[in-house]
Structures are given as C-alpha cells and as structure tokens.
C-alpha cells in the first residue's frame, strides 16, 4: 500500500485516486526531490509541464481554493463532465479522455479524436 496524503477536506488520497483541485481532476505524485515532497498532476495534462509541486502538506493547504473539493462521488464526477462539455476552456477530446479516466460511469459521448474543438492543448500548441 502506497503512502497517502490527507487533503484539506480530510480525504486521504494515494497515486491512484482522482480528486478535484481548483476545479480540475488531479492525481497525487510522490517525488524524490530535495525541495518538493509531492506534486499534483492534472489528469489529462500530466507530465506536460503543468504539474504543481508542493514542499509539504501545509503548502497544499495554503493553495487549496474554493474550487477544490477533494474526492467526488461517481454522480459528482458525471455532473462535472456535463459542466465541462459546456465550458469553452475544455476541448471535446479533452473532456472525452477525462470521462474515460474519471471514476464511475461518466458518460463518454462520441470519440472526438478527429474533431477536437480547441481546448487548452491546442491553444498551447501541444
């Protein structure tokens, strides 16, 4: 069993858990680093330079915003996906991939691999 981190909500998460941080699904990644203990990796954007490193839990608590909720139920993730489909910040391919990765039965509509609608990856040229 891997080490777990207590989120400000009281939820305890490990690397396989997906949780809502600042309005987006993230996973915990433990680091072997002299300055940072762990980082939060965005579910779709992980390893793209958008991971957020933290020195310790207190640093996470300091940056925990009102859009951060921790672990969500299957129904809450499904509602998050529905909202994301209507949010212009997210491309359809991104939302489709997130729906596949999120816990529960978040509905995956048509595969948008060939018809991405211009999410953040496109804006950044990734």
pLDDT, tens only, 68-89: 999 999 999 999 999 999 999 9
Q: Which helix (H) or strand (E) holds 24?
A: strand 24-30
- Residue 119 in tokens: 């999410």
Q: Which residues of the chain have pLDDT under 70?
A: 1, 105-126
pLDDT at 119: 55
Share of the chain above pLDDT 90, in %: 74
Tokens representing 93?
């391919």
What is the pLDDT at residue 109? 46
Residue 118 in tokens = 């211009």
**47 Cβ neighbours under 8 A, 6+ residues apart:** 41
pLDDT of residue 111: 42
Output the pLDDT for position 81: 96
Q: Determine the Cα–Cα distance for residues 101 and 95; give it in Å rounded to an integer.
A: 10
pTM over 0.95: no
């Amino acid at each position: 069993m891997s080490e777990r981190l207590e989120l400000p909500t009281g939820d305890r998460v490990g690397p396989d858990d997906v949780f809502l941080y600042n309005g987006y699904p993230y996973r915990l990644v433990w680091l072997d680093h002299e300055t940072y203990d762990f980082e939060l990796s965005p579910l779709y954007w992980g390893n793209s330079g958008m991971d957020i490193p933290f020195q310790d839990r207190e640093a996470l608590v300091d940056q925990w915003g009102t859009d951060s909720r921790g672990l969500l139920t299957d129904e809450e993730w499904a509602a998050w996906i529905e909202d994301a489909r209507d949010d212009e910040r997210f491309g359809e391919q991104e939302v489709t991939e997130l729906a596949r990765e999120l816990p529960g039965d978040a509905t995956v509509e048509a595969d948008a691999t060939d018809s991405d609608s211009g999410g953040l990856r496109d804006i950044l040229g990734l």
